[in-house]
Amino acid sequence: MTADPKGVLTGVHFLDGDHAACEGALAAGCRFVSGYPITPSTEVVERFAQRIPMVGGVFIQMEDELAASITMLGAVWGGKKVMTVTSGPGLSLMMEHLGLAYITEAPCVFIDVQRGGPSTGLPTLPAQADMMQVKWGSHGDYEIIALVPDSPQECFDLTIKAFNLAEQWRVPVFLMMDEVVGHMTERVVIPEASAIEITERRWTKKAPGEYRPFDACADGVPAMAKAGDGHRIHVTGLTHDERGWPALTPKSQDKLIRRLTNKIRDNADALADIREDQCEGADVIVVSYGITSRVASSAVLQARAQGLKVGHARLVVAWPFPTTRIAYLATQCRAMVVPELNLGQMVHEVSRAVAGKVPVRLVDHAGGTVHDPKVILDCILGAAR
Amino acid sequence: MASTGIRIGGLGGQGVILSGIILGKAASIFDGKNATLIQAFGPEARGSACSAQVTIADAPVAYPYVQNPDVLVVMSSDAYTQFIPTLKADGLLLYEEELVTPKDLPPGVKAYGIPATRIAEELGRRLVLNIVMVGFFAGVTGVVSLVAAEKALLSSVPKGTESLNLNAFRRGYEHGRSLVGAA
Amino acid sequence: MSETTLNDDQDLSGLPLVDNPVMPYLRQERIPHIWCPGCGIGTTVNCFTRALEEAALDLDKVAIVSGIGCTGRVAGYLNLDSFHTTHGRAIPFATGLKLANPDLNVVVYSGDGDLFAIGGNHFMHAARRNMDLLVVCVNNFTYGMTGGQVAPTTPIGATQTTMPFGNFENPASLPFLADAAGATFVARWTVFHVRQLTRCFKEALGKKGFRFIEIMAPCPTLFLRRNRLGDGVDMVRQYKERSVLRNGADTKEVAVGMEGDIVVGTFVDRERPTWLEAMNSHFSSVLGDRYRTYGG
């Protein structure tokens, strides 16, 4: 189906990433946001609070991020498309409810506008230091989807994609922005509602009594019901069976947790979105994501100007990590360079995929600003030697 | 492929960021170019110093920051002191001449001043100082077209203030054109 | 209630089997429940289900939300749309559920540790906002499921595993907190008062706004035994002897200790707009026709 025109601000705009992400959420059909202010993400909820009364829906500023993240989950079972928005310290508080969202298969979107950490760190300055936290920060085994925009236009586009993937797979989906992308203003084109594809929630067609809320369809994803539909569903954060009832045995744990993780793991190749530029035949391939990909691309252009064969692979989907494709690219080059605004996070995934076939060089940065392109260029030159 | 890096500096409340928005919009929405606006965001941006960086280019903008601007626009002496060392050796300085005295100007830099505060006051609202500066920028540099800048301006200012702002813009624009000797 | 009904030594084996009237309200396949003999939680559930029956509500539109702990398991046993959430966060979950679908009658049913220690902040803010929820707290003065640790309700002097030499922390008076935070309905009963409690549930289910019912209940395994207070029956006898009915009592004066009066009754019953009513009326007045009135 296509987007509800009520939420779509069709036109050409000059927006920052935070505002664009909010418009993406409205276009995607998000009608419920529970948030808590935190720099540099606050503009997303400020805009939502401004816009939603005229679109039809609810914004509520909760008392903390624990509340914001679980109020959102309550609204899922009330039937809404939902989102919450935060940055590092708030994300840390939301980790328990990431787990609850995951185990209860609640479709929802978390926007994380990354800033320097740990702790209060650099509230107004960028980093890409939460990339591992979203994947590993909640306890237990889990898989999420994380999209990484590098422009306000992508903040709009990928927020819609995040909502669609959340509905398709019934997993929490992250939009991993950073302070630069969040506060960078550029042209954002919002198409007509009829040109925006929306994935609807997969409601059960079964009658009360026949419906089992966690009985998966062939793709591993169960159909949903909401409270008030007459199904008398039970939803618990405990390990549960197909009926949703607590089932606290190793066998039921194995069955449930494998199904949940396999929804994503088995589809990792299909979910991958890598934008490759001149990777075939390259001597060095730069693997980057988010704002760093824009900084890296200026370094790549300079390296090419010096006659080097340099490819650039930008991860638009960081999780699930595109292991297959990165492993293939490693067979096509002599070295890989991974710049990121942290002291080494996704580089570990690259190295795992490359499995020693070629050297992988990290261009790290503790955060607070973006790399100087020259530092990335130097690493490319060094790797090419 | 042309690319112009612009730094606009001033004080909080002067409308520095809005100036950047109007330039960015003019270029990216109405002139068919690409523009990226970055605003200085930090404790230093609250209350006192405030700055915006705008890159206007024919090709998509990769690196988003303006490390060494081609054009520096300043509306406070602090901003001048802070950013003049970053201006390119053959760069262009545009300054509010009652608020900024360009001391120790690097030799290769071309500098143009405008009494933007006085012009704004003449128009009845000191607040439109920033719009005078935007017009001045357009008039001196031609980096954004007159038509695009006016459209961007009209889509960015509060309803009911359009003619005031348009007058402010045109005064700045004309002043700029006269300084660079345009007809 | 007569003394004889408190005697658990009766031989019932010769009596004919009859269907328990609360069974349709329970997920029978999930029985037996996890609660200890003498625990008061089941009694509260019994009263709640009878109130559901008497209130003649559309049960498809009643949802129950629990946190974590012994009382947190109530959601799983009731044959309603039910949500067993994370520790302390039943109220914000219920907030989202109610706001997303305002047609639901949403009940939060949880324990004192869950609602008032880890979840205390949410309680305060939901009451302040007048979120349209009925919040039921089964107060057994301890953390039962984790083995009898000190709770924000534990009276001074009571021994708990993490207060091995007796509690020296001042406990919270839950009705006082609820009143001060802005709840529109505040009542307290004990599991001795089954008829009054049933009536109270029914009354509260029919009202709007942030409604709070505290129910004192024995935890024989971890609170009573450790403090040499006997078994569940002994405690219910204490509730009977110590309770004093005082409707409209000043909530400043209803704190409970190891001894002394237990003031019961309806302390607060007032009306003010719920969060959603306030949002709709405010936006309608300031935004006029531009506002899309929200109904779910």
The answer to whether the CB atoms of B29 and A14 lie below 8 A apart is: yes
Q: Which residues of chain C are within 8 Å of residue A235 when distances are taken between CB atoms?
A: 82-84
Say what percent of chain A tops pLDDT 90: 100
Average pLDDT, stretch A261-270?
97
pLDDT at site C225:
93
pLDDT at site C10:
62
List, for residues C228-284, the tens digit of each pLDDT value.
Answer: 999 999 999 999 999 999 999 999 999 999 999 999 999 999 999 999 999 999 999
The answer to whether the CB atoms of B63 and A125 lie below 8 A apart is: no
Distance of CA A54 to the CA centre of its chain: 27
Nearest-Cα residue of chain C relative to residue A51: C291
Q: Which residues contact C20 (CB under 8 A, 6 or more apart)?
A: none
Please report which confidence band the pLDDT of residue C6 belongs to, taking 50, 70 and 90 as the band edges: very low
What residues of C are in the A interface, CB distance below 8 Å? 27, 30, 59-61, 63, 65, 75-76, 79-86, 88-89, 92-101, 103-104, 121-122, 124-125, 275, 279, 283, 287, 290-292, 294, 296
Domain carrying residue C257: 26-270
Please report which confidence band the pLDDT of residue C4 belongs to, taking 50, 70 and 90 as the band edges: very low
The answer to whether the CB atoms of C292 and A32 lie below 8 A apart is: no
**ipTM, 2 decimals?**
0.97
CB-based burial label for C239 (10 Å; 0-12, 13-18, 19+): buried
pLDDT of A270 higher than 80: yes
Q: What is the number of structural domains in chain C? A: 1
List, for residues C156-199, the tens digit of each pLDDT value.
Answer: 999 999 999 999 999 999 999 999 999 999 999 999 999 999 99
**Superfamily assignment of A5-195 in CATH?**
Thiamin diphosphate (ThDP)-binding fold, Pyr/PP domains (3.40.50.970)
Residue C289 falls inside a structural domain: no
List, for residues B67-100, the tens digit of each pLDDT value.
Answer: 999 999 999 999 999 999 999 999 999 999 999 9
Architecture field, domain B3-179: 3-Layer(aba) Sandwich (3.40)
pLDDT of C20 higher than 70: yes
Give the count of beta carbons closer than 10 Å to the beta carbon of residue A329.
Answer: 25
Handedness of CA A368, B36, B56, B129 (dihedral sign): negative
List, for residues C72-109, the tens digit of each pLDDT value.
Answer: 999 999 999 999 999 999 999 999 999 999 999 999 99
pLDDT of C226 higher than 70: yes
pLDDT at site B183:
54
List, for residues A19-64, the tens digit of each pLDDT value.
Answer: 999 999 999 999 999 999 999 999 999 999 999 999 999 999 999 9
Side-chain-side CA neighbours of C239 within 13 Å: the count stands at: 24
List, for residues C237-246, the tens digit of each pLDDT value.
Answer: 999 999 999 9
Query: How close C6 comes to chain A (CA, Å)?
Result: 33
Average pLDDT, stretch B96-114?
96
Q: Which residues of chain A are within 8 Å of residue C96 when distances are taken between CB atoms?
A: 32, 34, 70-76, 78, 82
Q: Is B109 left (phi over 0), alpha (psi -120 to 50) or beta?
A: beta
pLDDT at site B41:
59
- Give the closest of C60, C82, C291 to A230, CB-based: C60
| DSSP state, residue A273 | -
pLDDT at site C2:
42
Residue C237 falls inside a structural domain: yes
pLDDT of B42 higher than 70: no
CATH for C104: 3.40.50.970
List, for residues A175-220, the tens digit of each pLDDT value.
Answer: 999 999 999 999 999 999 999 999 999 999 999 999 999 999 999 9
Peptide bond into B64 cis (omega under 30): no
pLDDT at site B181:
85
Residue C243 falls inside a structural domain: yes
Mean confidence (pLDDT) of chain C: 94
pLDDT of A173 higher than 80: yes
Please report which confidence band the pLDDT of residue B65 belongs to, taking 50, 70 and 90 as the band edges: very high
- The CATH number of A275-384, from 3.60.20.10, 3.40.50.920, 3.90.320.10, 3.40.50.300, is 3.40.50.920
Residue C173 falls inside a structural domain: yes
Using an 8 Å Cβ cutoff, are C75 and A234 in contact? yes
Instruction: Quote the tokens at residue A285.
Output: 């391939």
The helix or strand, by DSSP H or E, that contains position A42, with its residue range, turns out to be helix A42-55
The answer to whether the CB atoms of C99 and A32 lie below 8 A apart is: yes
pLDDT of A328 higher than 60: yes
A and C in touch (3+ CB pairs within 8 angstroms): yes
Side-chain-side CA neighbours of A340 within 13 Å: the count stands at: 26
| Angle (nearest 5°) at CA B78 between B76 and B82 | 120
List, for residues C112-130, the tens digit of each pLDDT value.
Answer: 999 999 999 999 999 999 9
Please report which confidence band the pLDDT of residue C9 belongs to, taking 50, 70 and 90 as the band edges: low
| DSSP state, residue A292 | H
CA pair distance C244, C242, nearest whole angstrom: 7
Please report which confidence band the pLDDT of residue B43 belongs to, taking 50, 70 and 90 as the band edges: low
The answer to whether the CB atoms of C125 and A58 lie below 8 A apart is: no
Residue C281 falls inside a structural domain: no
Please report which confidence band the pLDDT of residue C18 belongs to, taking 50, 70 and 90 as the band edges: confident
pLDDT of C1 higher than 50: no
